Structure 1
Amino acid sequence: MLVSRKAAGTLFVGGALGMTLGSLFYPAMLGVQKVSSAPERVVATPATGPLTEADRDFVVKVRSAGLWEYPVGQRASTKGTTKAVRSAGEQLVAGDASLDAACRDVASQLGIALPDQPSPQQQGFESRLNKENGKQFDTDLATTVRATNGQFLTTIASVRTTTRNSLVRALADQANATVLDHITAVEKTGLVDFGQALAQETASPNLPAQDLTPPPAVAGQPQVVLTPPANSTASQSPGVG
């Protein structure tokens, strides 16, 4: 059973946190810090190629990134004060929905447990932007999305060049195209504070591990789905799905 991100708000409060039985646990740390002390350790050997801790962590990161960026994009598409900001919001929504579908498919094939909430740090991004309006919202959206996507490019490149799993390679290819599209979209708004964005990309978060880790999905709850817009033309990359 699946539930849309828009309808999933009630799933994010309360309840015991559980992990899907038989799925590969994701690690205790995500974000800009190293996610594992042994990223090259093979955790499974499916027909699509050996799966390492870094591969597994990457799939979880793709999911987590979309879970905070998608609702922010929805807000930007309707409340942005300029056409460029609204257009960027639409691109975030379409791109995140398509990438999320590919991510869920890959995770299902590889037995990777996915979260239904972003990390507390990412929830903080969303919460801050939800409280802002007008030009402040536009500028903060553009800068935050530019910083987080710029940072994610490094992770994508690392995984794409080291993974031996064909499904993870295909997901990395789609993630790379999506992230570059999002970066271009927010840069076109003319509102990115590049000094701040670059500082955020390179600075250590100085947060405890639990703030950088998306919580496990609640056992028995339907999986959250990022629903594509009706007019979306985004599609999955060949080799995913």
Structure 2
Amino acid sequence: MGGALAATLGSLLYPAMLGAQKVSSAPERVIATPPTGPLTLADRDFVVKVRSAGLWEYPVGQMALKKRTTRAVKIAGEHLIAGDASLDAACRRTAGQLNITLPNQSSPQQQGFVSRMNAESGKQFDTDMATTLRATNGQTLSTIAAVRSTTRNSLIRALANLANSTVLDHITVIEKTGAVDFDQALLEETAQPALPAQETAPPPPVAGQPQVVLTPPAGNTVSTSPSTR
């Protein structure tokens, strides 16, 4: 997986992602009161979710550049890489300012997505990539809306704004590949949780381990504002 390295902190109880059970029993509970506004469990969990999503989408974007069978899939890969790198930088900045520890790996479920797609090729890869990303980004969009409408922290609002723009762009370019199985994507997006929380929450970082950084592509010219092409 491409990416430069920097430094990290210790461990934290992480939230769940796609199909996950809720880790926080009281998401509205305030856990800190920084100058930027009260920080709740839901706010903290959102930052971790953003980080975890980028950690698996970024390598899938790299795969798309190598495995794609159409130009549209290549464009989707470029947007995934550029968008997730930019959002990851904002996420790490926000986490540092709010003293939130971030994972260095995505959840076991998300790592499973990457492993599965790594073994695929041709149209099978295109369809699996597009359908899975459409489902996960669709669910993430709902999460962003919930956090953006309830948070009282200005840094979380700013991160949610950027995440919303990035996810909308990803959804748009993914749909333009023509490879999305929308029936399957909707099923995956709305299905009841089937996996235990330990499968859907990213593991805490190892103490002293360098922090993984998602680096933007050299000479990047991709606009990650929602595409209307």
Between the two structures, name the one with larger relative contact order (CA 8 Å, sep ≥ 6). Answer: 2
> How far does residue 236 in structure 1 lie from its aligned partner after superposition?
9.8
Judging changes above 3 Å, is the alpha-carbon distance between structure 1 residues 7 and 170 closer, same or farther for their aligned structure 2 residues? closer
Alignment match of 1:119 (pick from 107, 110, 114): 107
CA contact (8 A) 2:79 2:224 kept: no
1:119 and 1:48 map into 2 onto residues whose CA distance is 29
Please list every run of 5 or more consecutive structure 1 residues that lacks an aligned counterpart in the other structure.
Answer: 9-18
Structure-2 residue corresponding to 1:194: 182
Aligned length: 222
Q: Does 1:53 align with 2:53?
A: no
Alignment match of 1:44 (pick from 32, 36, 46): 32
> How far does residue 232 in structure 1 lie from its aligned partner after superposition?
1.9
Q: Does 1:62 align with 2:50?
A: yes
Give deviations 1:59-83, integer Å, cap 9, x for gaps. Answer: 0000000000000001101220100
Please list every run of 5 or more consecutive structure 2 residues that lacks an aligned counterpart in the other structure.
Answer: none
For residue 96 of structure 1, what is the amino acid of its counterpart? D
Alignment match of 1:6 (pick from 2, 8, 11): 2
Judging changes above 3 Å, is the alpha-carbon distance between structure 1 residues 29 and 75 closer, same or farther for their aligned structure 2 residues? closer
For residue 58 of structure 2, what is the amino acid of its counterpart? Y
- Identity rate, percent: 71
1:236 and 1:169 map into 2 onto residues whose CA distance is 18
Judging changes above 3 Å, is the alpha-carbon distance between structure 1 residues 166 and 236 closer, same or farther for their aligned structure 2 residues? farther
1:42 and 1:164 map into 2 onto residues whose CA distance is 10
Q: Does 1:100 align with 2:88?
A: yes
Q: TM-score, normalised by structure 1?
A: 0.87
Judging changes above 3 Å, is the alpha-carbon distance between structure 1 residues 37 and 80 closer, same or farther for their aligned structure 2 residues? same
Alignment partner of 1:43: what SS? strand
2:42 and 2:221 map into 1 onto residues whose CA distance is 31
Structure-1 residue corresponding to 2:9: 20
Alignment partner of 2:31: what SS? strand
2:222 and 2:39 map into 1 onto residues whose CA distance is 27
For residue 177 of structure 1, what is the amino acid of its counterpart? S
RMSD: 2.0
